[in-house]
Amino acid sequence: MMVFTLFTISFFISLLLMTGSATELLKSKVDITAYFNETASKDQIFAVENALLSRSDVKTVDYISKEEALKRWQERNNDNENLKNIVSETYNPLPRSLEIKTENPEDLEAIDTFLSASDYQPLIKEISYRKNKDLVDRLVRITSFIKYIGWILSGVFVVVSILIIYNTIRLTIYARKDEIDIMNLVGASDWYIQGPFVLEGISYGILGAIVSSAILLAVSGLLVPIASNYLGIGTVSFNSAGNLAMIVSVELLTGIFLGVICSAFAVRKHLK
């Protein structure tokens, strides 16, 4: 039960770290792109760019010329010659555009409203969000769900673990009740009597942390590729040295805490 409890806690911590890392990665990629009509002049496009840069919620604005759009098209379709050659220097229908990044993904709606104003409608052909915005929203929902389920399951396993370890220690105490009574009668202090049982509880916590950490490392090798594929953003991971050290530390401290509390209360009840 100690292994199950610690693994459940560390598993949900790992999921939160992984989804948090993926969310931050996607937030850095989310932007909005404004595609301009062929009739829009460079001066008009640059005027829109300057208006955007004057806003406090805009981080960067990149102008994409027809030549740059052509270069991106060819790089994107480098493996498909037929599709790549549809657009060329002599025939380039790709529109000029402005790629806008905001300080926060929540500001995208305000930028969309700004660019949709009547003043810019004759210039702008289309305004599009990147698909990563939908993934960020999905990750936020997943993270909230993981937190909710994680707290419930972790709480249940902690309670069950406490009850089982408590009763296991009590069985050990019952098997040695004569020795405990004799030590108590000859004047041994409560801490002296409790010591071996508390150490036993601590050993449960340490062994549980070691086993659950090993299981977590094995499971993460299967979990990360599946999660990355589901999110569609490449490889995401939580198993950096700092994160692993934090997870193992939480497991050790939680295991030792549970072991000490269960052992101390079980022995104290018998002594009373």
Q: For all residues of the chain together, what is the average pLDDT?
A: 79
**Using CA atoms, how far apart are residues 81 and 83, in angstroms rounded to an integer?**
6
Q: For residues 213 and 247, is the Cβ–Cβ distance under 8 A? A: yes
Please state the rounded mean pLDDT for residues 60-72: 91
Cα dihedral: 163, 220, 146, 10 (round 10): 30
**What angle separates helix 190-231 from helix 132-175, to the nearest 10 degrees?**
160
| Domains of the chain listed by start with CATH number | 2-25+135-271 (no CATH), 31-129 (3.30.70.3040)
The DSSP secondary-structure symbol of 37 reads P
Is the predicted pLDDT of residue 23 greater than 70, yes or no? no
Of 26-30, 51-55, 154-158, 238-242, give the lowest mean pLDDT range. 238-242
For residue 133, what pLDDT is reported? 65
Residue 109: HSE in the Cβ half-sphere, 13 Å Cα cutoff: 1
Nearest to 232 by CA among 143, 136, 104, 101: 136
**Using CA atoms, how far apart are residues 38 and 93, in angstroms rounded to an integer?**
9
For residue 6, what pLDDT is reported? 80
> 88-100 burial string, b = 16+ CB within 10 Å, else e?
eeeeeebbbbbeb
Confidence of residue 28 (pLDDT cuts 50, 70, 90): low
Burial label for 51, CB within 10 Å (0-12, 13-18, 19+), is middle
Please state the rounded mean pLDDT for residues 5-25: 74
Confidence of residue 198 (pLDDT cuts 50, 70, 90): confident
Confidence of residue 45 (pLDDT cuts 50, 70, 90): very high
Tokens, residue 99: 């790629």
**Using CA atoms, how far apart are residues 243 and 217, in angstroms rounded to an integer?**
12
Percent of the chain clearing pLDDT 90 (strictly above): 14
Q: What is the pTM of this model?
A: 0.57
pLDDT tens sequence across 99-155: 998 877 778 888 888 998 888 989 998 888 755 566 667 766 776 777 778 778 777
For residue 107, what pLDDT is reported? 82
**Using CA atoms, how far apart are residues 13 and 195, in angstroms rounded to an integer?**
32
